[in-house]
Structure 1
Amino acid sequence: MRTYVITGSASGIGLATAESLRAGGATVIGVDRRDAEVEADLSTPSGRDKAVADAVAAASGSIDAVIACAGVAAPRAVTASVNYFGMTQFLEGIRPVLARSPHPRAVLVSSVSVVHPYHPDLVEALLRDDEAEALAVAGAYEADDPTKSLIYQSSKRAIGLWLRREAATTAWAGAGIPLNGVAPGLVLTPMTAPLLASEEGRAKMNASVPTPLNHHQTVQTIADLLIWLASEQNTHLCGQMLFCDGGAELVLRGVDAYSFADATVATVFANAGAGQ
């Protein structure tokens, strides 16, 4: 049976994923601030180092898949540290051990917020892996009202870009490790419960995350997808962010997801015509 390491395993999507895998007979090493096999704080560099070392030790040095679910949504600078560095540095730290598996897999959890408005300066600092600068920038955007802070969205945009930057490199694809992500829509978790507790809150969330298919989703819908992505059956998905969101990304971004190539196509045809 396979051995999985899951961050954010004490609640929400991480807990549902861990429970499903254990029910199927897999070994799961949970990582969280409490109620987990490995208790560590992913908001700090030392906490991430401890999490990696303790997870490897708990797995006796043999890990087949890593599922990075840990995340927070507070309008505070710490959200950038947990959601971005808590994923990237943990994944990078555990990658050498993961690569020794005959069928290694890595999956991260982002959000449909990857397509929402964001702070470019914060995203740029995150992608430079400059945590001190990222915290300084994010600190200027802290707010008492979560709707006035774009720290969460920026962290999710950055993790989505990191995924695409890294997945096809020699460190991941070159080592035989499919690295992919899932972007949930509005999932019923302890993190979203306060946002949905009032009629006004539900209206704001539904406007931000329109869900034409089957409305709000349970954690199990995401857990099932994460489990497949982390399984041996997933052999060729590389750097994909799968939007499991009831159609929210489609509504927000529209039908045309391919026009990025239009300028190149126009240049090719222009050059072809000039050569005749």
Structure 2
Amino acid sequence: MSRTYVVTGSASGIGQATTNLLVKLGHTVIGVDRSHANIVADLSTADGRKELVDAVAKLTDTVDGLICAAGLGLDAPVTAQVNYYGTLATLIGLRPFLANSAAPRAVVLASVAVLFDADADLLGAFEGYDEAAAIVRAEAITDQPGAIYSTSKRAVARWVKRHAPTSEWAGAGIALNAIAPGMVMTPMISEQIKLPEVRRAMLERVPMPLNGIAEADDIARALAWFAGPENTHITGQIIYIDGGAEASLRGVGTL
């Protein structure tokens, strides 16, 4: 059965791989990105987030699957704006469209970086939905590599776990989960690991004993399944597709 999906970040990386897979499977995909997409919108801005929802409304009243893959890894406030506020605006704005589906599913792209230290003040701004405060705090920690990225991904994963079982999501039949990849062979990573010492350092931080660094297609297959009708009872989960990184870093401490 053909379904209608919205995929943010559809023009590159994991979002592009997921879009290609869903189209190959015969589904309709509404791609969203800053360029080269069905809907061109900048999710770092309130206007761009509204433009996304308004544009979807012009195309359909029903979204069967939503995949929020748009994200940035820059040590800059824009990462906080896209990764957290852009993702939440997409989820909240398109939830009514999901509710019209017979088998609605939503999946957020998180990261194994949710395991890393988070900045407490930035996390507090995220969870208080204070975007102005988040921008100020993010600007103050741009000298801490990866801090904005890891904090934004932890915040959005916590939002998923907090909201997935509620009446607005599970109660409406909408499964909501997050996929947390380890390192994935995107253009950014492929450039970084050309230097052997950088590759070693990255794999020490994110050990991936099973098959090493993943390809975007590996993550796309999981996103497609969790956003599909086959997923009838999995919700509120953070699914690590990380070659064993989470198990290596945390062991049995969370059981």
Partner residue in 2 for 1:36? 37
1:185-196 aligned within 5 A: 185-196=182-193
Residues 191-220 of structure 1, C-alpha deviations (whole Å, 9 max, x = no match): 323332322321221111101111111011
Which residue, 149, 152, 157 being the options, matches 1:155? 152
Structure 1: gaps of 5 or more residues: 259-276
1:86-101 aligned within 5 A: 86-101=86-101
Contact 1:56 1:63 in 2 (8 A): no
**Structure 2 residue 137 is matched with structure 1 residue 137:** yes
Could you state the TM-score of these two structures normalised by the residue count of structure 2? Answer: 0.97
Deviates more, 1:147-156 or 1:73-82: 147-156
Helix, strand or coil for the counterpart of 2:209?
Answer: coil
1:187-266 aligned within 5 A: 187-258=184-255
**Structure 2 residue 19 is matched with structure 1 residue 22:** no
Residues 36-60 of structure 1, C-alpha deviations (whole Å, 9 max, x = no match): 00000001111111011112322x2
**Structure 2 residue 123 is matched with structure 1 residue 123:** yes
Structure 2: gaps of 5 or more residues: none
Contact 1:56 1:94 in 2 (8 A): no
Q: Distance in 2 between matches of 1:125 and 1:92?
A: 18
Contact 1:141 1:149 in 2 (8 A): no
Helix, strand or coil for the counterpart of 2:188?
Answer: coil
Consecutive aligned runs of 4 or more in structure 1 exceeding 6 Å deviation = none
Residues 98-144 of structure 1, C-alpha deviations (whole Å, 9 max, x = no match): 1011111100000000001110110111011110011111110013x
Contact 1:84 1:155 in 2 (8 A): yes
Aligned pair count reads: 254
Q: Superposition RMSD on alpha carbons, in Å? A: 1.1
Q: Distance in 2 between matches of 1:101 and 1:167?
A: 17
Contact 2:192 2:199 in 1 (8 A): yes
**Structure 2 residue 78 is matched with structure 1 residue 78:** yes
One-letter amino acid of the structure 2 residue matched with residue 3 of structure 1: T
Partner residue in 2 for 1:268? none
Q: Distance in 2 between matches of 1:56 and 1:109?
A: 23
Q: Which has the larger radius of gyration?
A: 1
Residues 222-251 of structure 1, C-alpha deviations (whole Å, 9 max, x = no match): 000000001111011110010000000111
Q: Distance in 2 between matches of 1:212 and 1:111?
A: 17
Q: Distance in 2 between matches of 1:140 and 1:192?
A: 26
One-letter amino acid of the structure 1 residue matched with residue 14 of structure 2: I
Helix, strand or coil for the counterpart of 1:243?
Answer: strand
1:97-108 aligned within 5 A: 97-108=97-108
Partner residue in 1 for 2:173? 176
Deviates more, 1:185-194 or 1:204-213: 185-194
